[in-house]
Amino acid sequence: MSGPELVDRGEGRFQLCGELNMRTVPDLYRASAGFVVGHPRVRVDLAEVHHTDSAGLALLIEWMREARDRNVDIAFQHLPDQLLRIARASGLADILPVTD
C-alpha cells in the first residue's frame, strides 16, 4: 500500500488522500514542506482520508503553524469523523480552521 498523498488541485486547493498514521505522516510532512508558499489562501480537502490517528491531527496543526508563519489563510474541508473525535478529546477542535 502506498502512503498518503497531497494533490495540488490548483489555485490553493489541495486534496489529501490515504491513511494518516504515525508510520505515514512523517514522510508526508517532509514531502509537503512549503506547500502553502505562493498562495494567500489554502484549502485542504480531507474527504479521501480513509483512516487517521493522532498523527493526522498533528500534521494539520503543523500545516496551520506553517501557514501562520507565512501569513497564509488555511482551512480544512471534510474532516473525517475519526479526526474530529481525536481533536475534541485533545481539546483542539476549536482551533481547527474548518470550512465548507
Mean pLDDT confidence for 48-70? 97
Q: Is residue 43 within 8 Å of residue 12, measured between CB atoms?
A: yes
User: Which of the two residues, 56 and 1, has the higher pLDDT score?
Assistant: 56
Tell me the mean pLDDT in the region 29-45: 97
Q: How many CB atoms lie within 10 A of CB 30?
A: 8
Amino acid found at 25: V
Contacts of residue 91, Cβ cutoff 8 Å, sequence gap at least 6: none
pLDDT at 93: 95
**Domains of the chain from N-terminus onward:** 5-95 (3.30.750.24)
Nearest to 17 by CA among 100, 89, 85, 78: 78
